[in-house]
Amino acid sequence: MARYYDVHPDNPQRRAIGQVVALIRDGGLIAYPTDSCFALGCQIGNRDGLDRIRAIRRLDDRHHFTLVCSDFAQLGKLVQISNSSFRMIKSATPGSYTFILPASKDVPRRLLHPKKKTVGVRIPAHTVAQALLTELGEPLLSSTLLLPDEEVPMTRGWEIRDRLDNALDAVLDSAECGTEPTTVIDLSGDEPELVRRGAGDPSRFE
Question: Which residues does residue 103 pair with via DSSP β-bridges, in sequence order?
Answer: 79
Q: What is the pLDDT of residue 19?
A: 98
Query: How many domains is the chain partitioned into structurally?
Result: 1
173, containing H or E segment: strand 170-173
In CATH, what number is assigned to the domain containing residue 119?
3.90.870.10
* Threshold 0.85, pTM exceeds: yes
Cα 84 from chain centre: 24
pLDDT interval class at 167 (50, 70, 90): very high
Closest Cα partner for 56 from 168, 132, 134, 136? 168
Tens digit of each residue's pLDDT (9 = 90 or more) over 170-205: 999 998 888 889 999 999 998 999 999 999 999 988
What residues contact residue 103 under an 8 Å CB cut-off, 6+ apart? 78, 79, 80, 111, 112, 117, 118, 119
Closest Cα partner for 65 from 141, 138, 117, 123? 141
Radius of gyration of the chain (CA): 16
Tens digit of each residue's pLDDT (9 = 90 or more) over 78-90: 999 999 899 999 9
Q: What is the pLDDT of residue 38?
A: 95
Range of the domain at 82: 3-205
Contact 98, 182 (CB under 8 A): yes
Report how far residue 206's alpha carbon sits from residue 135's, in angstroms, rounded to the nearest whole number: 36
pLDDT value at 18 more than 90: yes
pLDDT value at 168 more than 90: yes
Tens digit of each residue's pLDDT (9 = 90 or more) over 127-146: 999 999 999 999 999 999 98
Q: What's the whole-number mean pLDDT along residues 22-40?
A: 96
Report how far residue 43's alpha carbon sits from residue 38's, in angstroms, rounded to the nearest whole number: 17
